[in-house]
Amino acid sequence: MDMGALIARLPKVELHLHIEGTLEPEQLFAFAKRNGVALSHPSVEALRAAYDFHNLQSFLDLYYQGTAVLQTELDFYELTMAYLERVAAQGVVHTEIFFDPQSHTDRGIAFGTVIDGITRALTEGEQRLGVSSKLILCFLRHLDEDAAFATLRQAEPYLDRIVAVGLDSSEVGHPPSKFERVFSAAREHGLLTVAHAGEEGPPEYIWEALDLLKVSRIDHGVRCVEDANLVARLVEEKMPLTVCPLSNTRLCVFPDMRAHTLKQMLDAGLKATINSDDPAYFGGYMTENFTAVQEAFDFGPEELLALSLNSVEASFLDAGAKARIT
């Protein structure tokens, strides 16, 4: 059987995608021109050549630099629409998108400008492309608790457009415990919770995300395999892990795809899913991530369908919508 053809046909659900990480260099240059923003790289090619990362922080430095070109509601709309068009062509039927409001509000962009542009595209994407979606507000963990609370307050008028809060940015030194109270406040608003944990940070951060932040999914979580008790708990609770294979190799979490722990995770009974994280920076969207793991582990139809099904089950869709995908 042709695995490439199967991957192309597979109904895909994306659960770990930073919308700011879909900003392709060409679009970045176009927005910079439109908004009169000076860039530190002379050309699209020079910028792309700089996407040579050695850890999470080396990526984040460029990622936050890139956000400077996003200024208007139209920018956020076009950014989101371009992502939806690309993934619709790859067979993505549902996507749950992170956005980083603090990376914009700290530059003087209004929260409403950001969310209005993103959600205008999400609504159009559902109607015109048939891609359903949900939106997850991420707090930047390198900033303090007060800043996260201020962001949650700014989100209050828009809570009907947000399904969950998440936690991203520089992991090591910023444990989930730092955000226990703001996550509790978010849950009191009726929001679900997720958190990046165990990407570069230790297994203890995954325990904290479960116990203190009461998450419904762990984002990344690949370092869980270092702690047998943690793996047992994650299996027992059927806790989804949103794994991002190309991100993990590009950020040197693993030296190459064959060294990735995905297969070990699936063999242990963990609910791993495949996602693209920041596709414009890491060399691929959903299809490229599926292809990379299929080739590295020689996955057949059984594994590919199991991964696809894990994502449907781990999504925040209601039971009826899940049944329509599978």
First vs last Cα of the chain: how many Å apart? 21
Nearer to Zn ion, 69 or 251 (CB): 251
**Partner in contact with 24, chosen from Zn ion, ligand HPA, none, beta carbon below 5 to 8 Å by kind:** none
The residue from 14, 20, 171, 199 that is catalytic is 199
- Residue for token pair 């049944």: 323
Active site residue 199: yes
- Name residues contacting ligand HPA, limited to 43-72 (CB under 6 A): 56, 63
Is there binding between residue 96 and ligand HPA (CB under 6 A)?
no
Nearer to Zn ion, 19 or 210 (CB): 19
Q: Which one of residues 277, 281, 287, 314 is an interface residue with Zn ion (CB under 5 A)? A: 277
* Contact flags string 247-276 toward ligand HPA, x per CB under 6 A: x-----------------------------
Stretch 223-262: interaction string toward Zn ion, x if CB under 5 A: ----------------------------------------
Please state the closest distance from residue 220 (CB atom) to ligand HPA, in A: 7
Which residue has the closest beta carbon to ligand HPA? 168
Indicate whether 100 belongs to the interface with Zn ion (CB under 5 A). no
14 binds Zn ion (CB under 5 A): no
> Residue 21 or residue 101: which is nearer to ligand HPA going by CB?
21
Per CB under 5 A, the segment of 119-127, 156-164, 275-283, 318-326 that binds Zn ion is 275-283
Whole-angstrom Cα distance, residue 174 to residue 145? 11
Q: Return phi, psi of residue 142, to 5°.
A: -80, -15
Answer for the pair 271, 243: CB distance below 8 angstroms, yes or no. Answer: no
The set of catalytic residues is: 199
